[in-house]
């Protein structure tokens, strides 16, 4: 059963990644990303998610949230790394999709606290990033601010400590990329991929935070 669940989600992730490639190509400012990277990225993350749910490492009611998050995370990361932008056509619909996922998770067994915590996290994260952007636009772009709400919703749904951990982890990952690829991004490393990677890790490996609900 564990292998079947993992395999089915991996296959679904590959198909979702390929579909994402066609979606990116159809955007008003089309983004060209190799479908193999998207298929592999979403496929691997959904396989990990399937394995963790089937083994009881995370509750099944949590499944909708990381499913939605990781799909958006792979598409946005690939676009930001290649084109240095986070398209509104992805960051804005992510709010609705994450919101729906939180409601489904709440009804499936997570309780109303999932939705209220997600909403509070979205507002707090969005306000924080907006203030940083206003204070220093070169340090944090407008696209990162638009992304912050949906990311904050996921972290808030996990728990307030996850929001602090997500911020620290995102900064560390961004710094690592900057050190390792300083010749590629001489004008600054995009912040979005680090934020998305950190949030995806926390959503896939929330520890005991979800059990406390």
Domain ranges of the chain: 2-204
* Exposed/middle/buried for residue 122 (C-beta within 10 Å: 0-12, 13-18, 19+): buried
Q: Is the pLDDT of residue 4 over 90?
A: no
The widest CA-to-CA distance across the chain, in whole angstroms, is 52
Between the CA of residue 56 and those of 2, 41, 77, 110, what are the distances in Å? 10, 23, 29, 15
Q: Is the pLDDT of residue 51 over 90?
A: yes
Taking Cα atoms as reference points, which of 79, 70, 98 lies closest to residue 27?
79
- Mean model confidence pLDDT for the chain: 88
Task: Specify the pTM.
Answer: 0.91
Q: What is the pLDDT of residue 213?
A: 56
Start-to-end CA distance of the chain, whole Å, equals: 27
- Please give the average per-residue pLDDT across 134-155, as a whole number: 89
């Amino acid at each position: 059963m564990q292998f079947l669940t993992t395999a089915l989600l991996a296959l679904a992730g590959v198909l979702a990644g390929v579909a994402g490639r066609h979606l990116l190509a159809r955007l008003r400012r089309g983004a060209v990303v190799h479908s193999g990277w998207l298929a592999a990225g979403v496929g691997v993350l959904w396989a990990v998610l399937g394995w963790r749910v089937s083994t009881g490492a995370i509750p099944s009611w949590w499944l909708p949230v990381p499913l939605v998050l990781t799909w958006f995370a792979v598409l946005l990361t690939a676009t930001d790394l290649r084109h240095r932008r986070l398209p509104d056509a992805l960051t804005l619909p992510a709010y609705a999709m994450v919101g729906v996922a939180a409601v489904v998770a709440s009804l499936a067994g997570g309780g109303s606290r999932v939705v209220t915590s997600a909403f509070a996290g979205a507002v707090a994260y969005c306000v924080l990033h907006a203030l940083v952007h206003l204070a220093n636009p070169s340090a944090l772009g407008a696209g990162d601010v638009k992304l912050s709400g949906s990311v904050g919703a996921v972290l808030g749904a996990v728990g307030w400590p996850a929001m602090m951990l997500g911020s620290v982890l995102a900064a560390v990952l961004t710094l690592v990329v900057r050190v390792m690829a300083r010749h590629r991004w001489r004008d600054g490393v995009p912040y979005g991929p680090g934020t998305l990677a950190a949030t995806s890790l926390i959503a896939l490996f929330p520890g005991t935070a979800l059990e406390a609900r």
